[in-house]
Chain A
Amino acid sequence: MKVLLLGFGAVGQAFARLIERRRADLYARHALSPSLVGVVDSRGAAADPRGLDVEALLEAKRRGGTVAALAAHGVHGVSVEAFIVESEAQVVVEATPTSVAAPGAALARLKAAFRGGKHVVCVNKGPLAVAFPALLELARHNRVAFRFSGTVGGGTPVLALAQECVRGDRVLSARAVLNGTTNFILWRMDRHGEDYDAALAEAVRLGYAETDPSADVDGIDSATKLVILANGVLGHPCVLGDVAVTGIRGVTREHVLAAREQGQVVRLVAELDGGLSVAPREIPADSPLHVPANLNALSLTLETGGEVALVGRGAGGPETATAILRDLIDIWHAIGSPR
């Protein structure tokens, strides 16, 4: 199966390594041998219809800062959209970093992939946050598969669990902790009695938070994931603007400690219950959403089945790479063997 990888940062590189490491296993269990026929990063591209060598790609990226530095196969200054349409790949993996403020470029890449008749695995939340129904329509129109399980929960199959739940039951409400960074900060404030700034600094030090943490701490990342969960699985059409969002900048140590007195903890909770919201909320200490460190959690209330919950690691390059692989295998089985 020929794959074109867009984005060669932490996630993209982890994915390239993962398919190498799992090669024998994928072949044995799924008769699947993925081959990277193209890789695009922010500065250039590399292509080889017979498959690029992953070690050489990583080396080029490390030394030259771009895959375009790869000998013989690297190209600078390529028009990405044309490159996608013309690629021999059957599947395009969109793994560039999410930018909710400016999803235009990623959206244009996805449109090019669909237009070119390619299946798509997307772990970039930006385009889904703003144009989810349009993307589903475009995939259907071009009769290609569109998978995005890595956008929510990273390696933890949050969407898949929800999908299974809605198959035979009805989801009355969904509540979730979908952002590891803010969970880490609130956990530190609770556990170590730190104030917000100290907990944030620790998150930055450990690499959980970006130097500009606003997408996380302002709740945008959580809201984006909630939109994907609502649209993609729960049958609730919406866009980012429909979510009432409050971040955690205003959460004080006093607030957290006062909640603890009551047997509660403060967490940034994304909620679909009639309306859509993301806000710091007090939850019981024995709630399934009360998870430590940078974990994610999902709790669904089903009409018949009652409460169903899932806890796992939300982010991280290697974790998200496994989600991409999961989707790739899914597409491989969905389309049958290539013509």
Chain B
Amino acid sequence: MKLVMKFGGSSLADADRMRHCAALVRSRVAKHQVAVVVSAMDGVTEELLALADAAAAGTRAVAEAHLAALRRGHEEAAAALGEPGRVRELLDELDRLAGGIAAVGELTPRSRDAVLAFGERLATALFHRALTSAGVKARAFDGGEAGLVTDDRFGDAEPLVELSLYQVAETLGPLIAAGEVPVITGFIAATQHGVTTTLGRGGSDYTATLVGAALGADEIWIWSDVDGLMSADPRIVPGARRLERISFSEAVEMAQFGAKAMHPRALEPAAERGVPVRIRNTFRPEGEGTLIAREGDAPDGIVRSVHVVHDSGMILVTGAGMIGRVGTAARVFEALGEHGINIRMISQSASEAAISIAVGAGQLEAARAALEARLLRTGHARRVLVEPEVAIVAAVGAGMRGTRGVAARVFGAVAARGINVIAIAQGSSELSISFAVGRDAGPDAARALHDEFGLAKG
């Protein structure tokens, strides 16, 4: 098999953890072709951001403290991996970069990316060392060196996907065919002119799926600290269990509801080329994790998982004047959009007399003010009502599509627990049903659905 393995975060907390992950790679290289993607060590990205800000602000003492912390963490790991000098050059380069930012007194998005890239560059150098000292023939690459090209929107760069896939295949393909393991910095890439960029949303996972798609991998393994995707949050639903297999579209839907999964953007290259993604746990590597694959490959089941989005609020916009009036919804969304308010859920009855919108609790007041200014003042609506303490509950599963009676079961189960439903939304893709309930009823509603659809059973 051809495998791409991505490591990051707490899996790379220190030299011991790195050695452990290197062993996970080594145990596969005899039989498989492997490429590795590495993200920054735990906490390093935050430290780098703080360093960049401090440097730009001219607070030298603070900047030096951050530098020292970064130096300490990485040099300790390097020493423990038996090559104390492994990261010295990179750290010196970072030092000079911070000095340059301090001299200019300004942090451009471009230089911020250059600083951030050190998290992955340092971790990659260390992981490369861990692999080679474990006897694995490996070669380290920056994202740009590996062939990943993006536009120049620093901080949230968009890959030129076709070009990147072609170049990565050209650069890394022959290498893994020859049994060598490329170790690639996650999260970072380069413009066509060779300037370092970062991928923003999706980060290193995105790198992993791009590399997987480029190499035509059989699977992409995202090594993390969870056993996989769960049927529900076990803190809320004690009977929650690991999902063995789900489809890409289900995974995307779950991510929207806050499941600790991958960013939808990171799933895209894999979904498009049909390369399955497996979420696995480095702390329990014997587990199978969750396989995210094409729809046909997922097992049957109407509802696969249940989610609760806490800390939400509802706004109800009403008025007889809205009925049959074209453009009301546009006004609502414009008003919210202009104030940067993210809408979590929308529902409108066919009578058109009311629109209800769920937003994050923190944005509720801003949303109310925006709607009042835009709709009440102009007479486009009569009232803007606010329901501050709301939870959104969602059931996700591709099997709902075309299955009759799902809504009846969902709301029957919720009603049986005496929970009042405030608003309901279902997209026409039928991948999920979501509804709003009172804040305290959220967990109970989730448990009710989990039971109703038998998700606790294997």
Q: Taking beta carbons and an 8 Å cutoff, which residues of A are in contact with B?
A: 111, 114-115, 130-131, 133-134, 136-138, 141-142
Contact = CB atoms under 8 A, between A and B. Distances in A.
Given A133-B166, A134-B165, 4 more contacts: A131-B163, A137-B160, A137-B163, A138-B163
Contact of A141 (B160, B165, B166, B193): B160
A141 B163 CA distance: 11
Nearest to B166: A134
A141 to B, nearest CB: 6
A182 B160 CA distance: 38
Residue in A115, A133, A134, A136 whose Cβ sees the most chain B Cβ within 10 Å: A134
Contacts of B161: 137
B16 interface: no
Contacts of A134: 160, 162-163, 165-167
B27 to A, nearest CB: 32
Interface of B: 151, 160-163, 165-167, 192-193
B166 A131 contact: yes
From B161, B165, B166, name the one whose CB has the most chain A CB atoms within 10 angstroms.
B166
B62 to A, nearest CB: 39
A131 B165 CA distance: 10
A interface majority secondary structure: helix
Contacts of A131: 163, 166
A106 to B, nearest CB: 14
Contacts of A138: 160, 163, 192
Contacts of A115: 192-193
Give chain B's interface secondary structure class: helix
B162 A136 contact: yes
Contacts of B165: 134
A111 B193 CA distance: 10
B162 A114 contact: no
A137 B162 contact: yes
Nearest to B158: A141
27 contacts: A111-B192, A114-B192, A115-B192, A115-B193, A130-B166, A131-B163, A131-B166, A133-B162, A133-B166, A134-B160, A134-B162, A134-B163, A134-B165, A134-B166, A134-B167, A136-B162, A137-B160, A137-B161, A137-B162, A137-B163, A138-B160, A138-B163, A138-B192, A141-B151, A141-B160, A141-B192, A142-B192
A131 B214 CA distance: 13
Nearest to A85: B193
Nearest to B161: A137
A133 B165 CA distance: 10
A133 B161 CA distance: 9
A130 B166 CA distance: 9
Contacts of B166: 130-131, 133-134
B18 to A, nearest CB: 34
B226 to A, nearest CB: 35
B168 to A, nearest CB: 11
Contacts of A142: 192
A141 B152 CA distance: 11
B257 to A, nearest CB: 33
Contacts of A130: 166
Counting chain B CB atoms within 10 Å of each CB, which of A115, A130, A133, A141 scores highest? A141
A19 to B, nearest CB: 30
A142 B192 CA distance: 10
A130 B165 CA distance: 12
Nearest to B151: A141
A136 B163 CA distance: 9
A136 B162 CA distance: 9
Contacts of A133: 162, 166
Nearest to A140: B160
A331 to B, nearest CB: 21
A138 B192 CA distance: 9
Interface-centre pick from B161, B162, B167 (highest chain A CB count, 10 A): B162
A111 B166 CA distance: 13
A134 B160 CA distance: 8
A115 B194 CA distance: 11
A282 to B, nearest CB: 36
B360 to A, nearest CB: 35
B150 to A, nearest CB: 10
Contacts of B162: 133-134, 136-137
Nearest to A136: B162
B212 to A, nearest CB: 18
Contacts of A137: 160-163
Nearest to B194: A115
Contacts of B151: 141
A108 to B, nearest CB: 11
B216 to A, nearest CB: 11
A251 B213 CA distance: 40
B354 to A, nearest CB: 44
Contacts of A141: 151, 160, 192
Nearest to B159: A137
A104 B160 CA distance: 19
Nearest to A130: B166
B146 to A, nearest CB: 15
Lowest 6 CB-CB distances: which A-B pairs, in order? A134-B163, A133-B162, A134-B166, A137-B162, A134-B162, A115-B192
A128 to B, nearest CB: 12
Nearest to B170: A104
Contacts of A136: 162
A114 B162 CA distance: 15
Nearest to A237: B162
B104 to A, nearest CB: 26
B13 to A, nearest CB: 38
Nearest to B150: A141
A136 B166 CA distance: 12
A136 B165 CA distance: 14
B165 to A, nearest CB: 8
A124 to B, nearest CB: 17
A110 to B, nearest CB: 11
A120 B263 CA distance: 37
Contacts of B167: 134
Nearest to B165: A134
A133 B166 CA distance: 9
A243 B191 CA distance: 32
